Structure 1
Amino acid sequence: MSSEYKLLIFDWDGTLADSIGRIVTSMQEAAQRAGRAERDDEAIKGIIGLGLPEAILTLYPDMAPEQVIAFRQHYANTYIALDAEPSPLFAGVAESLEAFRAQGYRLAVATGKARRGLDRVLKAHGWERFFDVTRAADETASKPDPLMLNQILAHCDMRSEQALMVGDASFDLLMARNAGIDSVAVSYGAQSIERLRDFDPVLEVDHFPELRGWLEARAHSRLC
């Protein structure tokens, strides 16, 4: 592998896994159980990527801490029930990630999921040891704070210019910018590509395997 990127960091929901619909449904169900007005689909998609407490407070800024805790539990109960069969990976994700590993890239996940939820889906896909490092929102600072990316860089002994962050939400790309890391925007997730363009991604993809083709072309050009 000769590309200058050596570490590929992926968001989970909406980037690797087709889980946006379940998140929206779970947030609306939690609102019903908490006696709160439901937010519409677009409002909920706009907070995907944040840690759950931060997401809840963005949608319901008047909530007291104990209300956030109760709402969070309603959400978790609904999501876990829906996720009895894990959300499917987007087409080409598994094959592309396997190819990236074979090509020598270090792989990481930086997600707004909680550690318990991330571990559950990694286990469901047989990926407990697939990634070099993973970071979940409840064990570090929520996006767009760059802390989780800085922790991933430190773990992998990489510089920011050697990493590439792939995500579907403004929080992913802003986090990357805050960490001095290049980003890739995917158009098929939570937020529109028009919104993501504000953060100057180095690449836009409509289908995950396009990232593989782009990286392979870059590596080839460096060999020529």
Structure 2
Amino acid sequence: MPVAVAYAVAGFSLALLVLASLKAEQAWASVRQGRQGPGGKRRIRKVPAAMGGPEQIGDSARLRFRVLLLDHDDTTVKGTEEVHYPAHVDSLRILRPDLVPVSLEEWFRRNHDPGVSAYLKLLFTSEQMVQEHEIWEKAMEQKMPAFYEGIAELLKEYRARGGRVAVVSHSPAHVIQRHYDAHPWAEYIRPDLVLGWDQDPAKRKPSPWPALHALQHFGVQPAEVLALDDLSPGVKMAKAAGITVVAAGWGHNVQPIQDYMRRECEQYFETVQDFADYLLTSRASAL
């Protein structure tokens, strides 16, 4: 081979190597940049997935759990603090001015045990329950609770890897959908299935029906599903369906609830980041 040709081939090969190196550096820079949001805010740490564009991401076989059963209030959004508890205080002021509302912490306790419906029936007559429900619905229409920091990033990453999300909540389905639709990342984090408050008690937590319906909807086995909740109804639902359940501990810090969740759940997570590290760990790494 003539010397000039050899130098040309070598130079071309070197250029290809430099180009490949630059592309790899850009890809990893993108991953590193993804850990910060606008203004330098910290985002969910990425557990590196397969590199290559979005069309190559989404192999749910890499995930430890293919489906996430996700609670809404006090797990995903600050629902109780910003919407439901203030609505309860308004209900008592209007319908039962003779009663003093319990504290926010005690309200969490009553939602945990005996459950919100059972507790409200102790306070209101059947006629008042209708009015209480109207006050509650009005509050939900007027207020938009904030998502917990890191939740949107977690859901975006999980769904990008092929994970599917079913929201199971005591809030109405249309309200939950409105919360997601209002988020700037709605197209990336919107759940695949929403099972909200149902007038039939057999179709809402702690009944296993929502979980069993999700299994059928996604065509998966219980071992492929993870439930995340902050209160006992979600725990009871998941266990009755044979699904692993873990606790979201970042929404409140009420000792009896925390003790129960630590005892009954597979894991107890105090931060969204800790849960993200657990959920996004690949199946192979978890073995």
**How would you bin the TM-score normalised by the shorter chain?**
0.7 to 0.9
Deviations 1:109-160 (A, max 9, x none): 1111012322321221263782221100226622111111111111111111
Paired amino acid for 1:194: D
TM-score, normalising length from structure 1? 0.85
Paired amino acid for 1:161: A
Partner of 1:96: 154
Flag the structure with more relative contact order, 1 or 2, with Cα contacts below 8 A and sequence separation at least 6. 1
CA distance in 2, matches of 1:21, 1:3: 33
Where has structure 1 moved over 6 Å in runs of 4 or more? none
1:32 Cα deviation after fit: 0.9
CA distance in 1, matches of 2:112, 2:210: 13
Question: Is 1:127 the equivalent of 2:192?
Answer: no
TM-score, normalising length from structure 2? 0.68
Deviations 1:188-211 (A, max 9, x none): 225542221232x22211111222
Partner of 2:210: 148
Of residues 104, 120, 131 in structure 2, which corresponds to 1:41? Answer: 104
CA distance in 2, matches of 1:131, 1:75: 24
Partner of 1:74: 135
Which protein is richer in helix relative to its size?
2
Paired amino acid for 1:9: L
Which ranges of structure 1 fall in alignment gaps of 5 or more residues? none
Residues 167 and 195, structure 2, Cα contact 8 Å, conserved in 1: yes
Residues 186 and 206, structure 1, Cα contact 8 Å, conserved in 2: yes
Distance 1:121 1:3, change over 3 A: closer
Deviations 1:21-60 (A, max 9, x none): 122111111111112522332332134489xxx7244234
Question: Is 1:65 the equivalent of 2:130?
Answer: no
Residues 134 and 152, structure 1, Cα contact 8 Å, conserved in 2: no
Residues 64 and 279, structure 2, Cα contact 8 Å, conserved in 1: no
* RMSD, aligned α-carbons: 2.4
40-49 or 147-156, larger mean C-alpha shift: 40-49
8-17 or 211-220, larger mean C-alpha shift: 211-220
Partner of 2:241: 179
Residues 69 and 165, structure 2, Cα contact 8 Å, conserved in 1: yes
Residues 49 and 169, structure 1, Cα contact 8 Å, conserved in 2: yes
Identity %: 20
Which ranges of structure 2 fall in alignment gaps of 5 or more residues? 1-60
Query: Which structure has the greater CA radius of gyration?
Result: 2
Deviations 1:156-193 (A, max 9, x none): 11111111000111111111111111011011225542
Of residues 165, 168, 181 in structure 2, which corresponds to 1:107? Answer: 165
